[in-house]
Structure 1
């Protein structure tokens, strides 16, 4: 039970902190290192665990334990929560809108469970959420944030942040659903109810792809998204402060932000945004893919001199774009892919790099996309590397897969340390091997 005296102290702290943040959003605001350190920054090791990891890849939450990865994570982002056309966070069991069964309804057997205890039909919380709760109990320093949106579910963010009223309603719906844990009971099942997931999530990660710029076909995009994104972050901070007053807990606010100066400038007020976020994860992958007609590195630190792409975007330029606009180094967490991008019908000879292709390489998950643990098992390919790019590729004379492995991850973590960035983020944990070799490379490189 929180005493009145302690509650008063907490209220004073959160009000003072919020007032300082809001005051900093004036036109003369500069996001400097001191502002970033306000939130007690440290090297971060962030991993995304997806709603579909277990169903599509057999990667249940307990594999984070058996692989050794759980003890190396600082943050686990659960992907994704959806936003409705009306601009609200919601849970659903309707295909394409949500997967409540995976999230909090599916009963795990003892063999699938983090603690070896099977779920019971009558318990209020099951599914991935319950397993993550058990994971947090086993690893009490682990922070878990719910990530909203993603490539597929960013369609209605613009609606959610359009007006002051819509922003208030949007944030309240997300706080109620995920931070207070008020999950709806669906499909006649016992799971859900007021407070069923209370305390599970330590914050909210916004993965809006992208404010003010095109993402997936059909996304709602408005010119005012840029300013409204900032205002939405202010509203999240306000409502987080109110909740902190009651719980005594700091709730994290993070975001996944884009690569490419044009997309960045269209939707992100960099100094203002970084004063409101605990940190941001930066897109460090999908720079190239089978949507390009020529093979390339999807995640190069430095683009090779003979890269034929106009502009030659690479990770070093992505980071410079943020620094040039006022982002604090320690608030930038660089994304690292645990998957590869592939092309087929590659002609032109040589090692296959920068050669024309007819299309995306076949894959059981998504054409042109393959998890590292599958790429590692491909037969009949020759491995090539480019130390400058800090990435590798496989080529068999027809099909080309570009990917990161422990060697390239070692180079990327050195870059992160040299640039004094805030850590590394990976998409996504289900792409790793059973013994967690990729995340172990992240951990070693940042230690």
Structure 2
């Protein structure tokens, strides 16, 4: 492979944004299997990228082994969707424990983070083989013909921070492996396979950009760039506009928060939070073993009593009036209805699944019949409002009018989540079909009663889970927006004190999983998402460790820990409202990464205070994202300080 010698790391990212290669597995026809290498984001000492195995044959590739080395001074620090071994600079990459067959006519991606030392001029793999065959394709490749230049480049959508581009497919004598999108002559992003549309984010408002596209094939031949298109991004209004992406303010209200945390629906009102929100997602709705939305009133299955049976007195009620014994609908659902009466523009969505209740979603999404059954049961129960009569739950009234749509929280399609959760490789395609089924049924219900219902989803931050589980482009056509996990990057399950919600890569991050919101957002955009449809999640809680030594900088960051710090409900986790008042701790910040942490010489907490929230909002707006989501509202203080910081930053104040 050619060595590239750019003058700086930023140029390295552009020069290597899509350097392809191919190999044939021993059990497959050389013409059917292609491995495309693409490099993505680059920072001062590191970079990210992906290998994509494309199978154009008629049968699945059941197993594979990818082997390669890297130039001196370059290394891989973490990998996802696969297992990696390194010995003496030689890397062996194999499928993960759950398997990774590459379906006929499909593909499989393996993402990674790497690092390079000063003076390194190239990082692309060398001496590469797939199942022992050279990455040049078994027999030496004689493909020297470049694809045709893509024609018809056009801007199909734009905000002040992003531009969505489409173009006509190029031709090649063997096959086009992907496209590179150039911004002012340098690679801004790339696609693999047949995709002929993408969104370029991170742009400046009221600025002119020249875009062009070139095609590449599996042998590394690149076309000339097609005719360019010039786009000027719209101007913002000087600070009163919430930004190029949007001003959605989404907060999760937890069913169980009304107990030990004593956070009631009324608290959203009295804290001033409700007037700042556009959406409340009620967590969670459960899915039965036979693939239907259902309610129960027993631990681990559901709490219908909290949902619609519990009576609230006047002092705890949103409208200041106590529930009566014969009132048909009580509980959180009735309180949410009262909250919407107080704030008519507020939307409330029922969130389906979550960490523990995603266990039956793979089964429910498996067939067209099971998808129809799941969607219709959820629509009937929560949007038509046909609540079941459950012993011990109390009220039995209709919940019609409480919910304005459905939020899908499957953790995670085609990837491991909670140990009890089932997942399959085909979840990726099945999730797309499930979303389409929900969209169709919501539209049909809306046509019946003359209103619109929204559909959103909570989706993963891990680039590996994104590649494994989401057909991003098709999915985004059916969602109103999606919220993206922006936290839990690290936690007390690891043995090193580390940030849980960093915006940008952190030098020296020891892993084992190393990524940031920067890489997460780029992973969605590269796969066809408009940044304006992505709402960035932020934590209203912190994660902590104990037995952390000061380290060379005296701040405990990236230092070994004895274990998770003590928390009120679960070790290693505590709410912002508790962490903000800790005594004896020193506050530290990394303003570029939007992180803050507390350290007393032994105990270490990563958390977000109002200042960190403002940094995160500013970054999200710079990327053209669609707003901010908070998990979860019960972690804020009684004054709603975190929500106030988010609201003020989105309003430009």
- Name the TM-score, length of structure 1 as normaliser: 0.90
Equivalent pair of 1:284/1:335 in contact (CA under 8 Å): yes
The alignment status of 1:71 with 2:259, answered yes or no, reads: no
CA displacement at 1:309 relative to structure 2: 2.7
Distance change (3 Å), C-alpha of 1:188 and 1:421: closer
**What does 1:20-35 correspond to in 2, within 5 Å?**
30=197
Q: What's 1:204 paired with?
A: 406
Residue 125 (str. 1) matches residue 329 (str. 2): yes
Q: How many Å separate the matches in 1 of 2:384 and 2:370? A: 20
Match of 1:398 among 602, 617, 625: 602
Secondary structure, aligned partner of 1:299 = coil
Q: CA deviation at 1:308?
A: 2.7
Residue 52 of structure 1 aligns to a residue whose secondary structure is helix
Shift in Å, 1:371: 0.4
Say yes or no: does 1:230 pair with 2:230.
no
Q: Which runs of 5+ in 1 are unaligned?
A: 1-26, 34-40
1:55 corresponds, among 259, 267, 271, to 259
Choose from 110, 116, 140 the match for 2:320.
116
Which whole-Å deviations, capped at 9, do the CAs of 1:256-293 have from their partners, x for residues lacking one?
Answer: 00011111111100001111110000010001111121
Matched, 1:340 2:552: no
> Deviation at 1:188?
5.8
Of residues 501, 509, 512, the one that matches 1:307 is 509
Tell me if the contact between 2:297 and 2:393 (Cα under 8 Å) persists in the aligned partners.
no
Q: Is 1:62–1:131's contact at 8 Å kept on the other side of the alignment?
A: yes
Residue pairs, 1:261-280, within 5 angstroms? 261-280=463-482
Gaps of 5+ in 2: 1-193, 201-244
C-alpha distance after superposition, 1:379-419 (max 9, x if no partner) = 22111111122111111111110000110111111011111
Paired with 1:295 and 1:174, the residues of 2 have a C-alpha distance of: 41
* Deviation of 1:42 (Å): 4.0
Residue 301 of structure 1: how far off its partner (Å): 0.8
Whether the 8 Å CA contact 1:158–1:221 is kept in 2: the answer is yes
Q: Which residue of 1 aligns with 2:565?
A: 361
2:289 match: secondary structure = coil
Matched, 1:177 2:177: no
2:311 to 107, 132, 135: 107
Give the Cα separation in 2 of the matches to 1:423 and 1:287: 20
Higher Cα Rg, which structure: 2
- Work out the CA distance in 2 between the residues paired with 1:419 and 1:303: 16
* 1:45 equivalent among 238, 244, 249: 249
Is 1:86 the counterpart of 2:290? The answer is: yes
1:96 to 283, 300, 315: 300
The aligned residue for residue 391 of structure 2 is 187
Q: Does 1:321 align with 2:523?
A: yes
* Equivalent position of 2:182 in the other structure: none
Q: Does structure 2 retain, via aligned residues, the 8 Å contact 1:303–1:388? A: no
Partner Cα distance (1:408, 1:316) in 2: 16
What do the CA deviations read for 1:98-147 (whole angstroms, capped 9, x no partner)? Answer: 00111110000100000100011211111110000000001000000000
1:289 matched to 2:491: yes
Post-superposition Cα deviations, 1:156-183, rounded to whole Å, max 9, x if no partner, equal: 1001111111001000110011001110
- The equivalent of 1:38 in structure 2 is none
Runs of 4 or more off by more than 3 Å in structure 1?
27-33
- Distance in 1 of aligned mates of 2:393 and 2:428: 41
**2:334 aligned counterpart, secondary structure:** helix
Determine the structure 1 residue equivalent to 2:632. Answer: 428
More moved, 396-405 vs 181-190: 181-190
Question: What does residue 144 of structure 1 align with?
Answer: 348
Compared with structure 1, are the counterparts of its residues 117 and 148 closer, same or farther at alpha carbon in structure 2 (3 Å cutoff)?
Answer: same
Query: How far apart are the structure 1 equivalents of 2:393 and 2:628?
Result: 39
Q: How far is 1:222 from its partner?
A: 1.0
**Corresponding residue pairs, total:** 412
More strand as a share of residues: 2
* 1:253 and 2:450 aligned: no
Give the C-alpha shift of residue 186 in structure 1. 1.2
Secondary structure at the residue paired with 2:260?
Answer: helix
Query: Structure 1's 32 and 250: CA in aligned 2 closer, same or farther, altered over 3 A?
Result: farther
**CA shift for structure 1 position 191:** 1.2
Query: How far apart are the structure 1 equivalents of 2:555 and 2:392?
Result: 57
2:441 aligns with one of 239, 247, 260: 239
Residue 166 (structure 1) aligns with? 370
